[in-house]
Amino acid sequence: MGHGRYMKLDMGHGRYMKLDMGHGRYMKLDMGHGRYMKLDMGHGRYMKLDIGHGGYMKLDIGHGGYMKLDMGHG
């Protein structure tokens, strides 16, 4: 894509996908054991999509800010 940027899809043993955009910038999609997806944008910034046992999705945007989408049991 030019400018030294590239996309690397890392399907490591930790079950994650890492999108490396070069220049120290990356997005890491963590498919951890806790059934969540964490989009790590580096420098302490991340978005965490928590698919909890209560049937909800919590989008954690760091610094205490989040959006919670309750799917309910219905």
Give how many domains the chain has, as a whole number.
Answer: 1
Q: Which residue range is the domain that position 42 belongs to?
A: 16-70
User: What's at 73, amino acid-wise?
Assistant: H
pLDDT digits (tens, 9 = 90+) for 15-48: 555 665 556 666 565 555 555 566 665 566 666 6
Which pLDDT value is given to residue 1? 36
Counting residues of the chain whose pLDDT is more than 70, the rounded percentage is 0
Domain contains 3: no
Which pLDDT value is given to residue 2? 44
Q: Which of 36, 17, 37 is nearest to 28 (CA)?
A: 17
Average pLDDT for residues 63-71, to the nearest whole number? Answer: 59
Domain contains 4: no
**Does the model's pTM come out above 0.75?**
no
